[in-house]
Structure 1
Amino acid sequence: MLVTIEQNRTYSRLDDFIDSLADRQLTCYASDLLEQRGCENMSELGQAVKRATEVCHSMHLPLQENFKVVFRSQNGKVVQDWRLSPMAYLLMVLNADPHNDMVARTQVEMVRRVLHM
């Protein structure tokens, strides 16, 4: 027997307004890290996003204010991407592969800034 559970949620204008406010903070795309050579492929990028969402979840930061799955056209194909807040983007860089030169340099630079070096 197949059972399907559907969650019906009605959106009010207030919900739409709150969503649009959250969307305004999502100014980066995860795929920007691919273009900057911070990740080698979509799988590695997905892992960095996953780790960044886990950080937000652990710190009880609202995911909807920092991450949004989107679909974009790339070379004639539709691919999954994420719109991110600047904080989520930096968390993603911090959680990307540290063997990557760009990621390692960014991590060191962020630590230096925190330590005011």
Structure 2
Amino acid sequence: MTIDNTRTHSPLEQFIDSLADKNLTYYASDLMHLTGCASMDELGVALRRATEVCTCMHIPLRENFKVVFRPQNGEMVQDWRLSPMAYMLLVLNSEAHNDLVAHLQVEMVKRALNQE
């Protein structure tokens, strides 16, 4: 993902961005801290898959994913702010060999089956 710094946003675009930002309540790196992903590469693969799902379903990426930079161990690292749906998609697209990810995937399926 790239950031286009040269683009100027109209007041309407800024307003739409601020509305979308209110729903971005998770960080992708949270899954690493919960040991759901072993590395940034693994997290990147899960993020790519989650964004592909949204693109396939015509779900606006702008409302669910936002690249941000955060301080970590004295340096700035790239991270992503995510909506709750994007975070769930990230978990579903993470490596299932991890106990936490496998547990969350089974729990999500159970909840979905109970709603029917």
TM-score of the superposition, structure 1-length normalised? 0.90
Aligned twin of 1:100 = 98
Matched ranges for 1:28-107 at <5 A: 28-107=26-105
Cα RMSD over matched residues?
Answer: 1.8
Identity of matched residues, %: 66
Gaps of 5+ in 1: 1-5
Residue 9 (structure 1) shift: 4.4
The total of aligned residue pairs comes to: 112
Query: Displaced runs of 4+ in structure 1, greater than 4 A?
Result: none
Residue 10 (structure 1) shift: 3.7
1:113 aligns with 2:114: no
One-letter code of the match for 1:96? S
Q: Secondary structure at the match of 1:37?
A: coil
Give the Cα separation in 2 of the matches to 1:54 and 1:22: 19
Residue 92 (structure 1) shift: 0.2
Give the Cα separation in 2 of the matches to 1:32 and 1:57: 23
Gaps of 5+ in 2: none
TM-score of the superposition, structure 2-length normalised? 0.91
